[in-house]
Every structure is written in C-alpha cells, then in structure tokens.
C-alpha cells in the first residue's frame, strides 16, 4: 500500500486501493508533484459506489429482460399534410416570444470520422466548405432574424474537445450570434475499465476517461448553470440536435408546435427505416411506454416483424432530434441524475506495465455512456412525428461510404437543387445529382418557400453556384 505525507491524498489513495484500483499508482515514483496532484485530483472525483456498480454490470452482464415491443403512436407524414397548419402558429408564437432555446451535443469523440479536431470543425458544405459548426450557427442566426428574437445556444463539449471548440468560436466571433447567446459547458467524463474491471492508464499519471454519453447533457445543463440561465431568460422549450446532421431543420416551428399542442415533455422526430438492418434506434412502445430501443438491442424477431401490409412493424427510426420542456430537464435532475449507463465494448489505448503506450486493434475494455433518448421513458407525455429523411436527416459519421462527408454533401446539393427547381431554375444533372456544386446560405433561405421570396433573378447554372 502506498504511503504519503499529505493526509487528503492518503485518503484518496486508501479509497482507491480499497476499491481494487491500486495499480494506478504503479508509476508514482517516476511522477513529479504536479503529475501526482493531477492523478489524485482525477481519483478524488470518482463516485465509487456508482463506479463499482458499473464494473459489476460490465463483468457480469445479465441476460436482457424480454420487453413487449409495439409500434409507438407517430404523427405520420400523411397526417401532417393537414395537421401541420394547425400547429405551426403555436411553434412560431413560442419562437417569436422568446420561449425557445437550442441545445447541441458536441462532446463526442468522432472516432469513426477520424478528423483531427472537434467534429464540428469539419469543412462540409459543397461550395464554400463551411464547417458543421458554421452551418448550424447560420441556421440559428437565420431563425433568430426570421422571428426577431435571440435564440440562446447551449453547447455541450467534453474535456477532449472543449478548448479547440471554444477557440474556433472566438476566432469566428461567434458567427455573429453574440457571445452572450452561446453558453458552453463541459460534460462529465467517466473512467473506462479493462476486461477485468481495472482502470486503464491513458498516461502514467492519468487514468483513461471518456465522455459520459449524449445523455450527460441533462446533468451537465443542471450542473453548469445553463438550466438556471434558461429559466432566467424565460425559456420553456429546448430544441435538441446533434453536431453531425447537416440537414437538421433548426428550431422547426411545426415540431415545436406539435410538442406544445400535445402538452408533451419530450418529443422526437423519426424517419421510416430503409431496411430492417439499418443501424438506428427504434422509437416504439416498450412495455406500453414510448422509448427507444438501440439497434444492437433489437432482437431478430422484432427487427424483421412485418404488419399485415408487409411493412416493417417497428419502422420508426430515431434521428436524435428532440424538443424538451425546460421544466422536464429540471425534473430529471431532482433526485440526482438517473439515466442508466450503457456499456460500449471498445479498443482503448492504454499504458502497459512497462510504461509503453499500446494501441490495441481488438476490443480490450468498456466505456460507459448514457443516452438522451432514455429520458423519453421518464416523460409523462411525449409526441413523435415522422419527417422526410431526404429533407431532414443526413449524418456525418464515417470517413467514407455511407453516412460520410461525401453523402452529406450530396444530400445538401440535392436539397438545394430541389429548392431552386421549385423557383423555376433549370438544374443540369449528372448521375442523379446537380452537375455542378451548388450551395445556398441559410442566411439567404432555409427552405424552398423562403428562397421563392428571396430569389431576385433566376441564375443560369454552368459552374459552381453559391447563393447568399
Ligand atoms: P455519436 O454516437 O455519433 O458519437 O454521437 P461520436 O463521438 O460523434 O462519433 P464516434 O462514435 O466516436 O464515431 C452522436 C452525437 O452525440 C454527441 C456527439 O458529439 C454527436 O453530436 N455526443 C456523443 C456527446 O456530446 N457526448 C458523448 O459522450 C457522446
């Protein structure tokens, strides 16, 4: 057992040994005082009862309970053709009167994309190569101009990307949104463990921690003071989205309107799954309550089940866009943060007993994550609407292939092309796509309707086109 003079440090060290993690002091003799202090600081913030519970869960996975899964009530695209016009004024009124804020989760590690920097700094638009962050910021700006209101933006990062994200926004002067309207906060990190339940070392004096999942936003909003800020500003509804969806319809008034009309606490957007194997979470009734089943947790019986018309029974794929009541976020924190943790079996780099950094190719440990959609099960009332995938969902997840920068750019161009066509512009096409890169700034128009009003002259397209 390691003995030190500093009593506070000793308490932390003792606790660590008592909980079976004393090996993290293996390189203590090689550390300087700053490094020792850093390790002690990391360890002092561990919630041991919770950590031990999670490790137990990782090492002794219980057989999944079989839940009764049924289709959830969804307001379909067909129903929306007549219902939207009733709810849009509700959403617009909430926007105009300053009751809406925006939440972005951007704390993920973006490991599949493999980009050197925060994923939001990835250049994505077809002509100007605007970053994901700029594209989102301009959509928020466009909506705030449209409704003559500030749309405060609550922005979650994680320890691994906070500094570069902040620097990026500083450098770009907060994309004209006003520094006071962008509220950055950092999500919690949680240690990962190896397959024997032992902490891994990221460096000799640092244990490996990973962000606690996008569900961590509920706790982080509360702890960072963002929730208090929301209340002070008189916000009632929060539009939640993820950094990688280039087609997100920012603060969609129809969606907010349905949420208000249905008196929901948390609402969701879904698309029709393209095939049973598509890797999206499914919104369905879980033992009678609306919730999400992760694609990896869906058994084949449910995955392939068809209704009497031959359609997939559980078809509603979640696209991780939600509206949440501010009050609901507060309620979720009342008796401590309660979203369950999920296990992710991953290849995690670590410092071995000889002090060398190892980057395993095989999975060697577990990370622990919470998911925002688990909050749906706590909502007294929810509302789910179907949206058109081609207009609202295209995610940048992978370096290449499906859900990659290439598919995202193509989806953006298809949309811009369609808007222009609706304005009477002739679009030369090649292989089902506009033949030249085209891009429309959100500050000019956020949809075809707006473009019809704003477009002064009909452009001739014989090369790349950017409209602003
Ligand atoms: P993903 O599940 O796609 O993860 O996150 P990721 O980290 O971006 O990418 P991979 O899996 O490492 O390739 C979906 C959204 O949730 C956010 C991400 O930033 C993204 O907007 N997220 C994810 C967080 O904010 N925190 C997390 O701990 C995890």
Q: What is the full DSSP assignment across 358-425? A: E--SS--EEEEE--GGGGGGG-SSEEEEE--HHHH--B--SSSSTTSHHHHHHHHHHHHHHHHHHTT-
Could you tell me if the CB of 248 is within 6 A of ligand 1?
no
Q: For residue 102, is it within any domain?
A: yes
Same domain, 410 and 368: no
User: Hey, is 243 helix, strand or coil?
Assistant: coil
Q: Which residues contact 56 (CB under 8 A, 6 or more apart)?
A: 197
> Do 122 and 218 fall into the same domain?
yes
Residue 1 lies in a domain: no
Tens digits of per-residue pLDDT, 308-324?
Answer: 999 999 999 999 999 99
Minimum CA distance residue for ligand 1 atom 25: 107
pLDDT in tens, 435-462: 999 999 999 999 999 999 999 899 999 9
User: Hey, whose CA ends up nearest to atom 1 of ligand 1?
Assistant: 108
Q: How far is the CA of 279 from the centre of ligand 1 (A)?
A: 15
Substitution site in 107, 108, 162, 347 for ligand 1 pocket (most atoms within 8 Å of beta carbon): 108
Residue nearest to atom 10 of ligand 1 (CA): 110
2 assigned to some structural domain = no
Distance 291 CA to ligand 1 centre (A): 20
Torsion, CA 144, CA 147, CA 148, CA 154, rounded to 10: -30
Looking at the domain assignment, is residue 327 inside a domain?
A: yes
Residues 109 and 250 in one domain: yes
- The reported pLDDT for the residue numbered 420 is 97
Indicate if 436 and 332 belong to the same structural domain. no
Nearest 10 degrees: Cα torsion 187, 188, 189, 195: -110
**Would you state the pLDDT for residue 338?**
82
Note whether 253 and 301 are same-domain residues.
Answer: yes
What residues make up the domain containing 166? 69-398
**138 domain residue, yes or no:** yes
Q: Percent of the chain having pLDDT more than 90?
A: 95
Whether residues 211 and 339 fall in one domain? yes
Decide if 220 is inside a domain: yes
pTM: 0.95
- Say how many domains are in the chain: 3
Q: Note whether 49 and 182 are same-domain residues.
A: no
Q: Whose CA is nearest to atom 5 of ligand 1?
A: 108
Same domain, 82 and 123: yes
Same domain, 184 and 281: yes
Q: Which atom of ligand 1 is nearest to the CA of 210?
A: 28
Residue with tokens 């002070």: 232
- The reply to whether 47 and 154 lie within a common domain is no
245 lines ligand 1 (CB under 6 A): no
| Any atom of ligand 1 within 6 Å of the Cβ of 214 | yes
Pairing of β 382-386 and β 266-272: parallel
Nearest CA to ligand 1 atom 18: 108
CA distance 342 to 344: 7
Whats the size of the chain, residue-wise? 468
Which phi and psi angles does 15 have, rounded to 5°?
Answer: -60, -40
Does 317 fall in a domain?
yes
């Amino acid at each position: 057992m390691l003995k030190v003079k500093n009593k506070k440090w000793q308490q932390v060290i003792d606790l660590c040994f008592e909980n079976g993690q004393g090996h993290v002091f293996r390189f203590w003799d090689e550390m300087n005082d700053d490094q020792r202090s850093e390790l002690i600081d990391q360890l002092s913030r561990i919630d041991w009862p919770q950590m031990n519970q999670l490790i137990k869960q990782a090492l002794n996975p219980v057989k999944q309970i079989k839940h009764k899964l049924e289709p959830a009530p969804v307001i379909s695209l067909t129903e929306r053709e007549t219902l939207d016009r009733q709810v849009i004024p509700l959403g617009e009124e909430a926007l105009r009167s300053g009751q809406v804020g925006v939440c972005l989760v951007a704390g993920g590690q973006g490991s599949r994309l493999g980009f050197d920097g925060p994923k939001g700094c990835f250049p994505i638009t077809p002509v100007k190569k605007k970053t994901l962050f700029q594209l989102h910021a301009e959509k928020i700006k466009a909506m705030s101009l449209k409704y003559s209101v500030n749309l405060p933006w609550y922005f979650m990062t994680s320890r691994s990307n906070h500094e570069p994200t902040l620097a990026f926004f500083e450098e770009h002067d907060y994309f004209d949104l006003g520094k006071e309207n962008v509220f950055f906060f950092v999500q919690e990190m949680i240690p990962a463990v190896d397959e024997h339940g032992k902490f891994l070392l990221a460096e000799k004096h640092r244990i490996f921690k990973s962000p606690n999942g996008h569900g961590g936003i509920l706790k982080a909003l509360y702890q960072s003071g963002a929730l208090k800020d929301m209340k002070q500003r008189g916000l009632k509804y929060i539009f939640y989205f993820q950094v990688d969806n280039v087609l997100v319809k920012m603060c969609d008034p129809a969606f907010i309107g349905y949420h208000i009309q249905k008196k929901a606490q948390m609402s969701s957007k879904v698309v029709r799954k393209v095939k049973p194997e598509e890797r999206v979470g499914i919104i369905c009734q879980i033992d009678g309550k609306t919730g999400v089943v992760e694609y990896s947790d869906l058994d084949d019986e449910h995955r392939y089940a068809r209704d009497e018309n031959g359609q997939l029974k559980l078809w509603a794929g979640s696209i991780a866009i939600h509206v949440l009541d501010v009050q609901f976020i507060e309620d979720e924190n009342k008796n401590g943060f309660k979203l369950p943790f999920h296990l992710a079996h991953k290849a995690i780099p670590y410092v071995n007993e000889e002090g060398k950094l190892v980057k395993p190719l095989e999975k060697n440990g577990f990370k622990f994550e919470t998911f925002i959609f688990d909050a749906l099960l706590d909502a007294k009332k929810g509302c789910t609407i179907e949206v058109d995938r081609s207009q609202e969902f295209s995610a940048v997840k992978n370096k290449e292939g499906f859900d990659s920068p290439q598919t995202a750019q193509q989806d953006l161009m298809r949309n811009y092309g369609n808007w222009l066509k609706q304005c009477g512009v002739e679009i030369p096409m090649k292989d089902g796509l506009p033949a030249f890169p085209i891009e429309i700034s959100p500050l000019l128009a956020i949809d075809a309707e707006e473009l019809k009003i704003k477009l002064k002259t009909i452009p001739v397209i014989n090369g790349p086109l950017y409209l602003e």
